[in-house]
Amino acid sequence: MTKRSTAGSDHSPFAFVLFGGTGDLAMRKILPALFAAHRDGLLAADGRIVGVAQTALDTSGYLQWVREHVKPHIAGASIDDATWRSFLERIAYVQLDASQPETYSALRDALGTASGRRIFYLATGPALFVPICGALASAGLSEGSRIVLEKPLGYDLESSNAINDAVGQIFNEDQIYRIDHYLGKEAVQNLLALRFGNSLFEPLWRREWVESIQITVAEELGVEGRGNFYDQTGALRDMVQNHLLQLLSIIAMEPPGSMDADAVRDEKLRVLRALKPLPADEIRRSVVRGQYHPGAIKNTPVCAYHAEAGVRPGSTTETFVALKVEVENWRWAGVPFFLRTGKRLAGRVAEIVVNFRPVPHSALGPSALRPGSNRLTIRLQPNESIRLSALAKQPGMGMTLQGVHLDLAFDEFFQQDRMEAYERLLLDVIGGRLALFVRRDEQEAAWRWVAPIIEDWGTQASLPKPYASGTWGPAASSALLARHNTCWPEEEN
């Protein structure tokens, strides 16, 4: 078994203060990730975790809550009692009203004068980001600290700028860690390794050889009790503006000079700024929005989006987006990037497909000209893998070509040694590494690019296209690709 690399782990003391300490994200992601880091021996012995919320609890009540609610979300083998106990010893709880600065003295007292880095993780709604930062500053807790902001950071360019301006009054950009958990996924890291650690792909990674690129992030889940939030958000804001555009920027970026945070983020920013703007007529042609209707997921009937709790009657919020975008630079001019994401689709899959051009002339007959015959598929989840598809001769007489695959399944090769996105990202915050966090200018560029789509949808009389749950989205998504003589991977053959 290959040992997991612990390069970059940092053993300086820290206090990790978790606002929204009894919330869904704390329960499902953040506390399980901190436990994993603790279990893996990657946290400093004197690293402390302080849960903060309005719920009336003391530390022992909070520990009970953690036992009941967090433990079931910890992945992997059974939890060793001694490791679990030593994890709980790190945790304390402070009850405060995040919007009331006068209540922060309790937090200041709990943090005391202990040395070490302070990290404030805001796993709360964005409406609390500015009040919390202001209250931390008034309580004298902001200086030298790090602040972690969860998405959604705003609702559009304007609201995200307002938050960034206000937070920026108190924290410098190098103290601000904007989370996009996709950047913490092992497979996304692997994309960087694949592109910049090998000489094999780089010469082909350009318009001369690439015909199109597809990025899919499909989910089987629906809105999962988040109907209220989701109905005001929709797939464009929830997934495209952040996760999908971040994936696109990593796929399309120029090789950075180093893996230094700003070297990487500068290159991603160049891509985001080079996204071809979409005028209204192009939005209507090249952006498809859909909404799920009743159907079945793994043979279990599921309801329509409209019937989900918290969704407004007649809501036009999209649960599916497919779109075509181009990157206007020398490397990519004219190459279509097709992005799609949706809830209640036929499968859970996140993958990037790089379609290379067919041979310019086939001495071997028409089978060598088949689109999609030379392709690299990078599967991010589930089962991270890289598949290289090529053509080979069918055995026997004649020269009939057939698609074959070269597969690299990372879990088989590295045998389970993977780290969950949140664990990596939290360790990066603690260690002060910013490369996997979104810089303000990147975020602005992404909002700026999606803004005309939001605006156009606000004025369109047409509704999102319906699709049955358990399918791959509305027919218009297939038609979009068909107009470019291509199709989504599941539509082949």
What CA–CA distance (Å, rounded) separates 287 from 336? Answer: 13
Q: How far is the CB of 291 from ligand BG6 (least distance, A)?
A: 15
What CA–CA distance (Å, rounded) separates 239 from 319? Answer: 10
Q: What angle do CA 183, 317, 449 make, to 5 degrees?
A: 50
Q: What angle do CA 306, 309, 233 make, to 5 degrees?
A: 70
- Cβ closest to ligand BG6, residue 152 vs residue 474: 152
C-alpha 426, offset from chain centre: 15
What CA–CA distance (Å, rounded) separates 268 from 255? Answer: 10
Task: State phi, psi for 402 to the nearest 5 degrees.
Answer: -140, 145
Q: Report the interface residues with ligand BG6, using CB under 6 A.
A: 181, 219, 238, 350
Q: How far is the CB of 283 from ligand BG6 (least distance, A)?
A: 23
DSSP code of residue 244: I
- Cβ closest to ligand BG6, residue 63 vs residue 339: 339
Q: Hey, is 90 helix, strand or coil?
A: coil
Q: How far is the CB of 95 from ligand BG6 (least distance, A)?
A: 27
Pull the structure tokens for residue 414: 């590295």
- Cβ closest to ligand BG6, residue 93 vs residue 467: 467
Q: How far is the CB of 262 from ligand BG6 (least distance, A)?
A: 25
- State the pairing for strand pair 117-122/349-356: unpaired
Q: Is 73 a catalytic residue?
A: no
Report CA dihedral (317, 279, 462, 238) to the nearest 10 degrees: -10
Q: How far is the CB of 242 from ligand BG6 (least distance, A)?
A: 7
Q: How far is the CB of 90 from ligand BG6 (least distance, A)?
A: 26
**What DSSP string runs through 448-462?**
HHHHHHHHHHHH-SS
Residues constituting the chain: 493
What CA–CA distance (Å, rounded) separates 463 from 466? Answer: 9
Residue whose beta carbon is closest to ligand BG6: 238
Question: Which residue in the list 243, 293, 361, 484 is annotated as catalytic?
Answer: 243
- Cβ closest to ligand BG6, residue 67 vs residue 348: 348
Q: How far is the CB of 287 from ligand BG6 (least distance, A)?
A: 19
- Cβ closest to ligand BG6, residue 219 vs residue 318: 219
Give the C-alpha distances (Å, rounded to integers) separating 461 from 286, 315, 316, 457: 17, 13, 10, 8
- Cβ closest to ligand BG6, residue 94 vs residue 245: 245
- Cβ closest to ligand BG6, residue 211 vs residue 238: 238
Beta strands in 221-272 (DSSP E): none
Is residue 276 within 8 A of residue 325, CB to CB? The reply is yes
C-beta neighbour count of 257 within 10 angstroms:
10
Is residue 93 within 8 A of residue 57, CB to CB? The reply is yes
Enzyme catalytic residues: 243
